[in-house]
Amino acid sequence: MVNYASKIPVLIVDNRPENLTSLEAILEDMELDLVTARSGNDALRLSLHTDFALILMDVMMPEMDGYETAEFLRKNPKTRELPIIFITAGSNEKCQIFRGYEVGAVDYLTKPIEPAILRSKVRVFCDLFRQSRELKRIQVKLELQNAKLLESYRQLEEETAQRLRMTEELREQEQMLLQQSRLAAMGEMIGNIAHQWRQPINTLGLTVQQLLLFYDMGEFNRELLEKNVSISKDLIKHMSTTIDDFRNFFRSDKEKVEFKVTEAIASTMSIVDDSFKSQHIAVEVVAKAEPTVFGYHNEYGQVLLVILNNARDAFTERNTESPRVTITIGAKGNKAVVTVADNAGGIPEEVMDKIFDPYFTTKGPQQGTGVGLFMSKIIIEKNMGGRLSARNTADGAEFRVEV
Amino acid sequence: MPPPKPAVSMMVVEDEAITLEVIAVTLAKKYPDVAIHKAVNGRTGLELFKKHSPDIVITDINMPELSGVQMTKKIIEIKPDTKFIVLTGDNGKLTVGDSFGNVVEIDHVIDKPVDLLDLFAAVEQCLGEIMR
């Protein structure tokens, strides 16, 4: 392996051993790994094994001279870039020198060699070699890092794709839940209408039957007819208003508007009024302030409806003695705060943190869809940037709506 | 001459004013020999029962201040052979069965909206049994 501190390999080629020795002597203490070759062939063989920083080559060699050797070195891609310094004893004839440079020599030295000059030139190429080695090392390191980065990038891409998929799935689920909650709300609405209409229908039926019965008994007169017609008209009007109230109440909001909280509560109360009365649930509205809300008017009312209906169901389930609901309207800073407190006994501690979960219900499958409070939380917190919370009081539960 | 039979009386307990009125007035016209008492909730119904001891009690289930169920249970304790006709708006017979359990025997259950002819049939059946 490449070691920055290891010795630099340099090849000396000369057919005369005494020349080799003298060169070795000159380059003795330069931290070089000096390798010698006695012929061009040896030099070629050795250079294929070792990556030399420099070749100091004698020109005059039998069999294959320095120039030929250099040509071979140039031809082989592995040794093409190898720096060659020719050492020549001959004359400095220009044609010789040109030949040398033609075959790729980087320098020429003539004998006798001036040691200081040789050392200086060798040092240059050693430094170059050292730097080149260092560069190669850094390059390898960079390539590894690059590979790692690419891998991380690919993983991130996968993760992102997965996350996008999950987000899409979640959005689909939320759409489904929204749809379910709408259906559930419609179901509740029909249930509420049934409640509202039960008594009026009964009364209307009796009023009408009485007319025929009294006629058959000979007791029929205009006064009775007038009275019963008047009663019937009132009842019919009441039932018709119920439909209008419901239709308006459950129409979906197109946009945010500014509305008074007291008004929203009043419109919700008109929806549950009869069913609350029929179950003798007392409702008290305490207005400590007259705040307004900028938001979805009908959805806000629907949240109140969910809370009130839940209270009514709790009263029914637990057979509460004197059921009562207290709605308090107040303000906290610029937020409207509405609390709905009942005396139905409270929410059991073990389910307290689940009541806003989707599909969670304590009622049987016929009654509870588990969607009401979940969607209420989304409406208040996500759509209107408010807060919906619940806690237990001394005798029941208290829901708090802050918008 | 045999002593005159004590007059039969009925009590109607219903918290919706118009309904109470129509039922009471109609029954009074249909059965002129029967005394009709009216109460607007379970509590006054019980008081009225203690005072007049009616033979037939026609009652709504869902009322404030002592529900129809509770009132009925208390009346049974006082006079077990009282006849009961129950008027109900929720799911009819099933609810009544569960509300009363096995403690009280209901003679008739009538679903709302009340058909007066059904009510008359129930009353006449009760009267028939009482007269015997």
**Over the stretch A61-117, which tens digit does the pLDDT of each residue have?**
888 988 899 999 999 988 888 999 998 876 656 667 777 788 888 888 888 889 999
CA angle A311, A315, A316 (to 5 degrees): 120
What pLDDT, on a 0 to 100 scale, did the predictor assign at position B100?
63
CA angle B98, B101, B104 (to 5 degrees): 125
Higher model confidence: residue A20 or residue B106?
A20
Using an 8 Å CB-CB cutoff, list chain A residues near B60: none
A235 CB-contact burial (10 Å; exposed 0-12 / middle 13-18 / buried 19+): buried
What pLDDT, on a 0 to 100 scale, did the predictor assign at position B98?
58
In whole angstroms, give the CA distance from residue A9 to residue A129: 9
Q: The domain B9-131 is classified under which CATH number: 3.30.110.30, 3.30.110.60, 3.40.50.2300, 3.30.1360.120?
A: 3.40.50.2300
What pLDDT, on a 0 to 100 scale, did the predictor assign at position B131?
81
What pLDDT, on a 0 to 100 scale, did the predictor assign at position B1?
65
What pLDDT, on a 0 to 100 scale, did the predictor assign at position A94?
67
In whole angstroms, give the CA distance from residue A86 to residue A65: 11
* A392/chain B closest Cα distance in angstroms: 26
Residue-wise pLDDT tens digits, A241-256:
888 887 887 777 778 8
Tell me whether residues B22 and A199 touch, CB distance under 8 A. no
Higher model confidence: residue A328 or residue A173?
A328
Tell me whether residues B18 and A231 touch, CB distance under 8 A. yes
Tell me whether residues B114 and A231 touch, CB distance under 8 A. no
In whole angstroms, give the CA distance from residue A117 to residue A113: 8
Residues of chain A with CATH 3.40.50.2300: 8-113
* B33/chain A closest Cα distance in angstroms: 15
CA angle A373, A377, A378 (to 5 degrees): 120
CA distances from residue A322 to A278, A343, A387, A401 in whole angstroms, order as listed:
13, 8, 30, 25
A305 — phi, psi (to 5°)? -60, -45
Using an 8 Å CB-CB cutoff, list chain A residues near B101: none
Give the end-to-end CA distance of chain A in Å, rounded to a whole number.
Answer: 71
**Which amino acid does the sequence have at A34?**
L
Using an 8 Å CB-CB cutoff, list chain A residues near B29: 213-214, 217, 219
CB-nearest partner of B113 from A205, A214, A280: A205
Using an 8 Å CB-CB cutoff, list chain A residues near B19: 199, 202-203, 206
Q: Residue A320: how many CA atoms within 13 Å on its side-chain side?
A: 22
Each as own residue / partner, the long-range contacts of residues A314-320 (CB below 8 Å, 24 or more positions apart, any chain) are A314/A342, A314/A344, A314/A345, A314/A396, A314/A397, A315/A279, A315/A281, A315/A342, A315/A344, A316/A279, A317/A363, A318/A344, A318/A345, A320/A344, A320/A345
What pLDDT, on a 0 to 100 scale, did the predictor assign at position B5?
58
Ranges of residues in chain B with a pLDDT under 50 are 94
The average pLDDT across A2-12 equals: 78
Q: Is B17 helix (H, G, I), strand (E, B) or coil?
A: helix
What pTM was estimated for this model as a whole? Answer: 0.58
Residue-wise pLDDT tens digits, A260-307:
999 999 988 988 887 788 778 999 999 998 999 999 888 898 899 889
Nearest to A376 by CA among A308, A290, A279, A277: A308
Question: Which helix (H) or strand (E) covers residue B119, if one does?
Answer: helix B116-131
* A294/chain B closest Cα distance in angstroms: 39
What pLDDT, on a 0 to 100 scale, did the predictor assign at position A253?
77
The average pLDDT across A357-374 equals: 70
The average pLDDT across A381-392 equals: 91
In whole angstroms, give the CA distance from residue A80 to residue A304: 87
My answer on whether omega of the bond before B113 falls inside 30° of 0, hence cis, is: yes
**Which amino acid does the sequence have at A345?**
G
Please list, in sequence order, all residues whose beta carbon lies within 8 angstroms of the beta carbon of residue A278, skipping any fewer than 6 positions away.
Answer: A195, A198, A199, B62, B89
Residue-wise pLDDT tens digits, A187-242:
777 877 887 788 889 999 999 999 999 999 998 999 999 999 999 999 999 889 88
Structure tokens at A140: 């390898």
Using an 8 Å CB-CB cutoff, list chain A residues near B30: 213, 217
Is CATH 3.30.360.10 what the domain over A253-403 is classified as, yes or no? no
What pLDDT, on a 0 to 100 scale, did the predictor assign at position A201?
92
Is the pLDDT at A365 greater than 80? The verdict is: no
Architecture of domain A8-113: 3-Layer(aba) Sandwich (3.40)
Higher model confidence: residue A299 or residue A179?
A299
Task: Name the residue ranges covered by the structural domains of chain B.
Answer: 9-131
A111 — phi, psi (to 5°)? -80, 150
Using an 8 Å CB-CB cutoff, list chain A residues near B16: 199, 202-203
How many Cβ pairs closer than 8 A exist between chain A and B?
A: 54
Residues of chain A with CATH 3.30.565.10: 253-403
Please list, in sequence order, all residues whose beta carbon lies within 8 angstroms of the beta carbon of residue B127, skipping any fewer than 6 positions away.
Answer: B8, B31, B34, B56
* A285/chain B closest Cα distance in angstroms: 21
CA angle B64, B61, A327 (to 5 degrees): 40
What pLDDT, on a 0 to 100 scale, did the predictor assign at position B94?
47
Name the residue of chain A whose CA is nearest to B17's CA. A203
Structure-token match 């794709």, residue found: A161
A332 CB-contact burial (10 Å; exposed 0-12 / middle 13-18 / buried 19+): exposed
Average pLDDT, chain A: 88
Please list, in sequence order, all residues whose beta carbon lies within 8 angstroms of the beta carbon of residue A380, skipping any fewer than 6 positions away.
Answer: A300, A303, A386, A387, A388, A401, A402, A403
My answer on whether omega of the bond before B3 falls inside 30° of 0, hence cis, is: no
Is the pLDDT at A369 greater than 90? The verdict is: no
Contact A264, A301 (CB under 8 A): yes
